[in-house]
Amino acid sequence: MAQVIGVIGGDGIGPEVVGATRTVLDAVAEVHTLDLAYETYDWSCHTYAETGTMMPDDGLDRLAEHDAVLLGAVGWPGVPDHVSLWGLLIPIRRHFRLYVNERPIALFEGMESPLRNARPGEIDLVVVRENVEGEYSEIGGRLNRGFADEMAVQEAVFTRPGVTRIVDHAFALARQRGGRLTSATKSNGIVHTMPFWDEIVRERAAEHPDVDWESELIDALAAKVVLQPERYDVIVASNLFGDILSDLTAAVAGSIGIAPSANLDPTREHPSMFEPVHGSAPDIAGQGVANPIGTVWSAVMMLDHLGHGEAAADLMDAVRHSLRSPGTRTRDLGGTAGTAEVTQALVAHVRA
Ligand code: GGG
């Protein structure tokens, strides 16, 4: 029976990079005789402008039927970012309890880091972002709107089960990669939630004695990611810290355009969702220059999750190969190729 993937291109360059990824996935499926089927949804800011919602009322029920979800990007000028994000991306993460957001990054051969001494292979790390609680919270509100004493309050939510499960996931990943774990904290300034986070990390570390770990203040960690990125392997962070840190780690490796992410429900009760880290990039949308690698690498993670390790490894080889030459790299990576040329190169390598 076919594994069915729900596909949401979304906004801006989202449909372009997802379209490219679909083309590449078709080639991978043919070569590896995978039975993959797709259900496409046009949910986006355009839908919002037409209907007043980012997705229909039964949108989550429809996605629940699928084995995985592949998403492009969300956001378009004219629709406030918090409306588009909380109308599509964040409900999917929360409804399906996708509490892990794995965001790997590496400096591949052919890529240039903005750091003058970084060499291919020296940056290779994963940010494990807590994905359903923390600073991204619905608890709060606005008071005294329009008055001089107007105010806004937002409560961060850190639960013992929520922190425990993400920290355990990160320890397990660090063990699997044979590396070390760094926990991002800010317990010197954030007086309640971050000491609680640290306490749980310490407790869980006792259950993972074979993994070397450390705790770093997020400000110092951000500086060290720039100064010594090679010292990091797996970094576990709260929702907001993980979001910011993964843009930084991608930039340090050369471009956010290649950064993938896997929003995972490790229990496999719900479909997991795979999306590039980048947003909708309205400034380059429709020009055929968007870098599809972030979405293609996300598809690699999806194939792995769906049990197609060999196909995933082959596609990742194609990604590495395309990044090697300027003719098959996009402009954000100093190349000359458009989205279509990168896609053709990936397909050709998969079929070779
Ligand atoms: N590729 C998904 C996307 O559009 N992300 C943009 C974004 O702003 N995401 C916020 C988040 O991941 O919390």
Q: Alpha-carbon distance 312 to 31, whole Å?
A: 12
Q: What is the whole-number distance in angstroms between the Cα of residue 30 and the centre of ligand 1?
A: 31
Cβ 342 vs Cβ 325: under 8 Å: no
Catalytic residue among 48, 99, 186, 232: 186
Q: One of 81, 198, 233, 247 is an active-site residue; which one? A: 247
Of 231, 252, 273, the position where a domain reaches its end is 252
Q: What is the pLDDT of residue 179?
A: 87
302 lies in the same domain as 328? yes
Helix (H) or strand (E) holding 51: helix 45-51
Q: Which residue's alpha carbon is nearest to atom 1 within ligand 1?
A: 73
Phi and psi of 296, rounded to 5°?
-65, -45
N- to C-terminal Cα separation, the chain: 27
CA of 279 to the centre of ligand 1 (A): 5
Structural domain contains residue 113: no
Testing ligand 1's pocket by substitution, the residue of 82, 85, 102, 129 carrying the most ligand atoms inside 8 A of its CB is: 85
Q: What are phi and psi of 64, to 5 degrees?
A: -60, -25
| Structural domain includes residue 131 | yes
Is residue 238 domain-shared with residue 276, that is, in the same domain?
no
Same domain, 132 and 248: yes
Same domain (yes/no): 178, 244: yes
Residue 293 in any domain: the answer is: yes
pTM value is 0.96
Given CA atoms 212, 218, 219, 222 in this order, what sign does their dihedral have? positive
Instruction: Choose one of 203, 218, 252: the last residue of a domain.
Output: 252
**Does residue 224 carry a catalytic annotation?**
no
CA angle 43, 6, 20 (to 5 degrees): 85
Residue 118 lies in a domain: no
* Residue 117 maps to a domain: no
Q: Judge whether 136 counts as a catalytic residue.
A: yes
**Nearest-CA neighbor of 103 among 288, 242, 255, 289?**
242
Gap from CA of 274 to ligand 1 centroid (Å):
11
Q: Are residues 159 and 239 in the same domain?
A: yes
Can you list the pairs that 205-209 forms with residues at least 24 positions away whose Cβ atoms lie under 8 Å?
A: 205/171, 207/168, 207/171, 208/168, 208/171, 208/172, 208/175
Reported as a single tens digit per residue, the pLDDT across 124-159 is: 999 999 999 999 999 999 999 999 999 999 999 999
Is residue 110, in this structure, part of any structural domain at all? no
**Structure token digits, residue 232:** 């990091």
Note the pLDDT tens digit of each residue in 283-335.
999 999 999 999 999 999 999 999 999 999 999 999 999 999 999 999 999 99
Rounded CA gap, 352 and 344, in Å? 12
Same domain, 233 and 140: yes
Q: Which atom of ligand 1 is nearest to the CA of 280?
A: 4
Q: Are residues 227 and 275 in the same domain?
A: no
186 carries an active-site annotation: yes
Distance from the alpha carbon of residue 277 to the mean position of ligand 1, in angstroms? 6
Burial 312-337 (b: 16+ CB within 10 A, else e): bebbbebbebbbeeeebbbbbbebeb
The protein residue with its alpha carbon nearest to ligand 1, atom 2, reads 73
Name the residue with the closest Cα to ligand 1, atom 11. Answer: 243
Q: Whose CA is nearest to atom 9 of ligand 1?
A: 279
Annotation marks residue 198 as catalytic: no
Q: What is the CATH number of the domain that holds 189?
A: 3.40.718.10
Instruction: Tell me: do 268 and 230 sit in the same domain.
Output: no
- Ligand 1, atom 6, lies closest to the CA of 279
Rounded distance, CA 49 to CA 120, Å?
44
pLDDT in tens, the chain (352 residues): 999 999 999 999 999 999 999 999 999 999 999 999 999 999 999 999 999 999 999 999 999 999 999 999 999 999 999 999 999 999 999 999 999 999 999 999 999 999 998 999 999 999 999 999 999 999 999 999 999 999 999 999 999 999 999 999 999 999 999 889 999 999 999 999 999 999 999 999 999 999 999 999 999 999 999 999 999 999 999 999 999 999 999 999 999 999 999 999 999 999 999 999 999 999 999 999 999 999 999 999 999 999 999 999 999 999 999 999 999 999 999 999 999 999 999 999 999 9
Place of tokens 């039964």: 58
- Give the pLDDT confidence score for residue 9 in this predicted structure: 98
Looking at the fold, whether 246 and 277 belong to one and the same domain comes out as: no
Active-site position among 243, 304, 314, 332: 243
Question: How much distance in Å is there from the Cα of 28 to the middle of ligand 1?
Answer: 27
Beta strands in 61-187 (DSSP E): 68-73, 100-106, 124-130, 140-143, 151-154, 180-185
Question: Looking at the domain assignment, is residue 305 inside a domain?
Answer: yes
Query: Is 107 contained in some domain?
Result: no
Which of 136, 232, 265, 332 is catalytic? The answer is: 136
Number of domains in the chain: 2
The pLDDT of residue 294:
98
Cα–Cα distance for residue pair 236/185, rounded to 1 Å: 9
Q: How many whole angstroms separate alpha carbon 244 and alpha carbon 237?
A: 10
Contacts of residue 350, Cβ cutoff 8 Å, sequence gap at least 6: 24, 27, 28, 31, 314, 315, 318
Contact predicate 170/157, CB 8 Å: no
Query: What residue ranges line ligand 1, CB within 6 angstroms?
Result: 73-75, 85, 243, 275-276, 278-280
Co-location of 131 and 199 in the same domain: yes
Out of 220, 252, 284, a domain closes at: 252
Residue from 7, 8, 54, 89 to probe ligand 1 pocket by mutation (most atoms less than 8 Å from CB): 89
Running DSSP on this structure, what letter comes out for residue 219? H
Same domain, 55 and 87: yes
The amino acid at 328: T
Q: How far apart are CA 297 and CA 25, in angstroms?
A: 11
Q: What pLDDT shows up at residue 45?
A: 98
Residue whose CB lies within 8 A of the most ligand 1 atoms, among 74, 90, 138, for a mutation test:
74
- One domain, residues 173 and 243: yes
Rounded Cα distance, 100 and 92, in Å: 13
Report the candidate in 79, 81, 5 with the shortest Cα–Cα distance to residue 49. Answer: 79
Distance 210 CA to ligand 1 centre (A): 34
The strand pairing partners of 93, in sequence order, are: none
Report the C-alpha gap between 96 and 9 in whole angstroms.
Answer: 19
The answer to whether 219 is a known catalytic residue is yes
Amino acid at position 173, single letter: L
Domain span at 242? 124-252
Whose tokens are 């990742």? That residue is 316
